Structure 1
Amino acid sequence: DPCMVLKRELTFIPLFGWFALKFRMIAVERSAGTAALKKLVARAKREIAAGRQIVIMPEGTRKGPDDPPDYKPGAAALYGALDVPCVPFGLNAGLYWPRRKFLRHPGTIIIEFLPAIPPGLPRKDFQMRLQAAIERSTERLVAEGREKQN
């Protein structure tokens, strides 16, 4: 029973937003700063206690395949507070679904789940390990996707 973390604005989309709320996803008011982070951690603790898994995109949004990484503090805050393993994943969605565009390009979006990062690492070590794993996987998946496009 995964619990997605998403920006609150997505809950305003007809049907999608209603389902996100119905299935108890965690909507974050990103402009609220540290207050939003505290609410995110508190809610995630309740969901973990209920047996759910938390799914969060550490950059907080989709990005283009050549954009530099911009990891937000949410994933590291959850990792430190929840004391559970973190399973990172890489994906090539930026090739086929550009940011801020409804149109998509033909192709197959691939999600690659990576080895779990065990709980208990210092925040900085976790952040470096998470980013390195995701970026390495994503770069490879994007390169493979570009080869198929040519």
Structure 2
Amino acid sequence: MKTYFPKTAQNGWVLVDAEGQTVGRLATKIASVLRGKHKPDFTPNQLCGDFVVVVNADKVVFTGNKLDQKVYTRYSGYQGGLKKTTARAALAKHPERVLEHAVWGMLPKNRLGRRMIRRLKVYSGPTHPHSAQQPKEMSL
């Protein structure tokens, strides 16, 4: 018995409107499309997912008190170099990074995951420069 491996993956483009969507639930669906789990020839060790374009990232929703209680941290490596930002401040300043951070947390942390996250294009407004690729609208 030989194992079937797809030779070339057919990479499509998917458009997602994030307006009114919950961040975590939206991120799980985006990560699944980036990995290629929606395709019948999904292979975990190959890059077989689609490109994902997300618009209206500034209109995502957090449930409960997460806007004030969720904290994003980054550390420079120096003493006193720990920076903390609440979700409300991050959403006001860089709304794209909030969704990118959530999706990155759901992808594998290896070379393949780094190639997958490069296929994610997030825009805070309703317009995007990828109309030439004719992305298909994904309903959530």
Larger proportion of helix: 1
- Highest relative contact order (Cα 8 Å, sep 6+), 1 or 2? 2
Larger proportion of strand: 2
Instruction: Name which one, 1 or 2, has greater alpha-carbon Rg.
Output: 2
Query: TM-score of the superposition, structure 2-length normalised?
Result: 0.27
Query: TM-score of the superposition, structure 1-length normalised?
Result: 0.26
